[in-house]
């Protein structure tokens, strides 16, 4: 599935922050190429060809292939972090905020599956400096979920002996959706999000967790 075929996933105009148009086209082409072939097997010529441009045109906007991957990864991780922060700052109990965080996070990873696969699974291809920047964004996402779970424990809503380990499990569960989700499957991104929210509430021992829809 190419980025052009991805479902909304909570975004009306993905990559609209990338300008000018030629730079955006190259970035979208890079996402498709990296997801299909992997970062190391993709050449700058592959990316330019997918964008309908010459290889020389790519270097006008991006100095290296790694710079493209970094831009993709940073934008994706910032979006993911904002999704979690919006849920954390929203109204409701810790259980409601955790469910909202999981629903939204999973919906993005399913609805933007091609993008999410590159964002989440090509980290080792980044330079040491860029990888450190992305890991810091991931630590912030981890902290958001950990705070929500801690709020639930403090309020007596959750029974979680190991908050750090549970936080890691929740995020890993959500991120893995990008690996297996298929738009031809029987569930939509919204339905998968609802299912995972239910599963996570059960994981943390939230009382009265709603039953998932079959």
Residues of the chain with pLDDT under 70: 1-14, 208-214
Token digits for 28? 């979208």
Token digits for 12? 């009306």
Q: Are 152 and 94 in contact (CB under 8 A)?
A: yes
**Positive or negative, the Cα torsion across 145, 146, 150, 153?**
positive
Query: Whose structure tokens read 């890993």?
Result: 172
- CB-hemisphere CA count at 13 Å for 33? 23
Element (H, E) at 205: none
Q: Model-level pTM?
A: 0.87
Q: Are 123 and 131 in contact (CB under 8 A)?
A: yes
Give dist(CA 14, CA 24) in Å, integer: 10
pLDDT digits (tens, 9 = 90+) for 128-148: 999 999 999 999 999 999 999
CA-to-CA separations, 103 to 2, 32, 197, 203, in angstroms, rounded = 23, 25, 5, 15
Q: Which residues in 34-84 belong to E strands, given as ranges?
A: none
In sequence order, which residues have a C-beta less than 8 Å from that of residue 45 and are 6 or more positions away?
Answer: 55
Give dist(CA 17, CA 75) in Å, integer: 9
pLDDT at 6: 55
pLDDT digits (tens, 9 = 90+) for 178-193: 999 988 888 999 999 9
pLDDT at 184: 83
Q: Are 9 and 189 in contact (CB under 8 A)?
A: yes
SS3 125: helix
- Using the CB atoms, write b or e for 118-140: b if 16+ within 10 Å: bbbbbbebbeeebeeebeebbee
pLDDT at 12: 46
């Amino acid at each position: 599935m190419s980025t052009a075929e991805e479902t909304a996933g909570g975004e009306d105009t993905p990559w609209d922050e990338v300008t000018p148009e030629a730079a955006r086209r190259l970035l979208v082409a890079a996402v498709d190429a990296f997801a299909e072939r992997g970062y190391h097997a993709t050449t700058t010529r592959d990316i330019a060809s997918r964008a309908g441009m010459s290889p020389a045109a790519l270097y006008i906007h991006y100095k290296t292939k790694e710079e493209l991957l970094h831009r993709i990864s940073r934008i994706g991780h910032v979006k993911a972090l904002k999704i979690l922060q919006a849920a954390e700052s929203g109204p409701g109990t810790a259980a409601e905020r955790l469910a909202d965080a999981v629903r939204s996070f999973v919906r993005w990873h399913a609805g933007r599956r091609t993008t999410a696969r590159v964002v989440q699974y090509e980290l080792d291809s980044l330079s040491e400096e860029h990888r450190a920047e992305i890991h810091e964004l991931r630590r912030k996402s981890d902290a958001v979920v950990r705070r929500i779970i801690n709020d639930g424990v403090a309020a007596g809503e959750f029974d979680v002996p190991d908050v750090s380990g549970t936080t890691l499990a929740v995020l890993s569960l959500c991120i893995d959706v990008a690996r297996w989700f298929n738009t031809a499957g029987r569930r939509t991104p919204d339905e998968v999000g609802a299912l995972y929210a239910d599963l996570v509430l059960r994981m943390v021992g939230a009382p009265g967790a709603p039953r998932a829809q079959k």
